[in-house]
Amino acid sequence: MAFPSPAPMSSVNPQEIPLPMAGGNTFGRYNKISDSQTWNMIVSDGALVDYAGYQNVFPSPLVANGVGRGIYSSNNGQIMIAVIGSAVYSIATDLVATPVPNGVLQTSVGDVFISENNASEIAITDSSFLYVYNYANNTFEQSIYSNVSPLPTPAPVGFFYVPFVSPGYVSFQLGRLIIADTSSQNWYLSGINAATQWDIKDVNNQAYFGALDLKPDKAQAALPFPGSGNSLVLFGRTVMESWQNVGNAIFPYQRASTFNVDYGVLNASSIAALDSYIVWLSANEQGGATLMIIKGSGAREEPISTDGIDFKLANISDPTNCTGFLMRQDGHLLYQFTFPTDNLSYVYDFNTKLFFTVSDENQNYHIARNTVFFNNDYYFVSLNDGNLYTFGTQFTNLQYSATNIQQMPRFRICPPIRLPSQRMFICKSVAFTIENGQPNVQKQAEADVFLVTQDGNFLITQNNNFLVGAETQTVYGEGTECIDLRVSRDGGETFSSALRYQMNPTGKRKSRLIFQRLGQQNDLTILIQFIGYGRFVAFDGIVEAYS
């Protein structure tokens, strides 16, 4: 950013330039425009604070070589359903005993979608089959596709007939489960609280389904609009339609004739609904990946992005390999979305209207596929392994097992500082306020005690060896929490080696952090890295500069 220069700078009266530490990803298309970004931190009440960390729930992975595919929280059943690999687990609120599989899917990779009705039936789809787990009687059944009418003799035990080939997103509204058939434009309704009944007919003995028909497209998802009563949205890949349950005898839903959104969904796994919002990663036949939101039934869609984020999304190699979810973190409504193939994960904060980058310990994409709120905590299954994790700001690190605890990479790259005149300036100091005095484990070692005379001279033996006392002393060194500062003078392309600031030990709460004499430049980008396992809280600061 360019800063005002109301008066000539001098070494006697240096100019104070704001240093926006509490900010998000406002990077430009190219680093020279701006490299400003924030990793694994968000803005809260004007301060930069930690993003949620995570911790594994069970001592060992539920599936040794599997990956998380979906997770669901059942309020009625007071259980979580987690699909890892091909195994379906139900997890009770005590989280004590290691879960055992309640069913097995025919597939072991790819997205799954989960919903339930009011008859203790949980529906799971994997784009190939529909599965129904009944937690009341502990049964697990699988669908069989049938396009014959009337249906043949009853299906074999453990199976039921369905009229769709590729069951995708599944949801629930007004007593019925709703499934989009991703191989066609059709979406289907189950019987009332009957997850295995899909052969229902209307009064004219016609198949009981709706169709996506505003564009030549295929259905991807149908889900209720949160906070909008009987409203439902139907997604294709290039369009979204709005439907209303009006209670017709022939087919209960009616499409809104004057409203649609000219953007579909890249992958139904990116659709998330919470409060009155629906958020999804969208595209149409004339545009690439875009983050889209809609608030309230009948409201217009709204793209949310920045020039830098748009440039990143426009250059994604595999936009359909994406996932996203909504969650609340300490009052902030957050949408986290990930492109695993392209190694990108971002968070959008609806409260501050800012984007942030999130990652694992190696600065690769974040491992969470989607989250649920259960037993007063958030949980997720991983894109990378077969563990179940709990997720929240009570964790300031990334724990994969009891012996594998990693630091969360946290850093802030501030916007560039340039004079309107483009002239060189000298950076006298960089300072900002930071919380200090929190638990900061000091490295310690046992050292020998050397004997000295009253004049301070070492006592030595006749063989010139130092005399050592019988006891040792504890020597304290640097703490585990510290701050590194790096600077770039070429528009964020390269950064210097680090200047390190050691955080104060526990109880010493002096909060001003200052780095002195950072040299001369005409284009200054400052990178602050927060290193350690504890929490960090940082505020905006000041750069002192003179010509």
Pairing of strands 159-162, 139-145: parallel
Has residue 423 got a pLDDT over 60?
yes
Q: Give the model's pLDDT for residue 445.
A: 47
Has residue 547 got a pLDDT over 50?
yes
Q: Give the model's pLDDT for residue 10.
A: 55
Give the DSSP letter of residue 439.
-
Kindly report, residue by residue over 34-43, the tens digit of the pLDDT. 999 999 999 9
Three-state DSSP string of 77-99: CCEEEEEECCEEEEEECCCCCCC
Kindly report, residue by residue over 446-482, the tens digit of the pLDDT. 555 555 565 656 566 666 565 666 655 444 445 578 9
- More confident site: 98 or 270: 270
Has residue 444 got a pLDDT over 90?
no
- More confident site: 477 or 394: 394
Has residue 313 got a pLDDT over 70?
yes
pLDDT band at 354, cuts 50/70/90? very high
Give the C-alpha separation, 39 to 8, whole Å: 36
CA distances from 120 to 26, 159, 490 (A): 47, 17, 61
Has residue 361 got a pLDDT over 50?
yes
Q: What is the pTM of this model?
A: 0.88
Instruction: Tell me the helix, strand and coil percentages in the chain, rounded to 5.
Output: 0, 50, 50
Q: Give the model's pLDDT for residue 476.
A: 43
Q: Give the model's pLDDT for residue 247.
A: 86
Q: Give the model's pLDDT for residue 477.
A: 46
Report the range of poorest mean pLDDT among 348-352, 381-385, 445-449: 445-449
Kindly report, residue by residue over 476-527, the tens digit of the pLDDT. 445 578 999 999 999 899 999 999 999 888 788 888 899 999 999 999 999 9
Has residue 284 got a pLDDT over 60?
yes
Average of per-residue pLDDT across 49-73: 94
Q: Give the model's pLDDT for residue 288.
A: 77
Three-state DSSP string of 168-232: EEEEEECCEEEEEECCCCEEEECECCECCCCCCECCCCCECEEECCCCCCCCCEEEECCCCCCEE
Q: In sequence order, which residues have a C-beta less than 8 Å from that of residue 440 and are 6 or more positions away? A: 479, 480, 481, 503, 504, 505, 506, 532, 534
Q: Give the model's pLDDT for residue 474.
A: 45
Q: Give the model's pLDDT for residue 127.
A: 95
Cβ-contact 547, 16 below 8 angstroms: no
Q: Give the model's pLDDT for residue 450.
A: 56
SS3 309: helix
The proportion of the chain whose per-residue pLDDT surpasses 90, expressed as a percent, equals 68
Kindly report, residue by residue over 233-268, the tens digit of the pLDDT. 999 999 999 999 998 877 899 998 888 888 999 999
Average of per-residue pLDDT across 434-454: 63
Report the range of poorest mean pLDDT among 94-103, 250-259, 336-345, 438-447: 438-447
CA distances from 484 to 24, 55, 526 (A): 19, 26, 11
Give the C-alpha separation, 208 to 226, whole Å: 24
Cβ-contact 379, 71 below 8 angstroms: yes
Q: Give the model's pLDDT for residue 6.
A: 47
Q: Which CATH architecture has domain 1-51+408-441+480-547?
A: Sandwich (2.60)
Q: Give the model's pLDDT for residue 465.
A: 65
Kindly report, residue by residue over 135-158, the tens digit of the pLDDT. 999 999 999 988 766 667 788 899
Report the range of poorest mean pLDDT among 81-85, 178-182, 192-196, 280-284: 280-284
Cβ-contact 210, 186 below 8 angstroms: yes
What is the Cα 452 distance to its own chain's centre? 60
Q: Give the model's pLDDT for residue 469.
A: 62
Give the C-alpha separation, 452 to 288, whole Å: 76
CA distances from 145 to 109, 166, 199, 334, 505 (A): 21, 9, 11, 39, 66
Report the range of poorest mean pLDDT among 192-206, 208-222, 249-263, 509-523: 192-206
Has residue 13 got a pLDDT over 90?
no
Give the C-alpha separation, 403 to 54, whole Å: 14
- More confident site: 201 or 521: 521
Among 94-103, 364-373, 418-427, which range has the highest average pLDDT? 364-373
How does the average pLDDT of the chain come out, rounded? 88
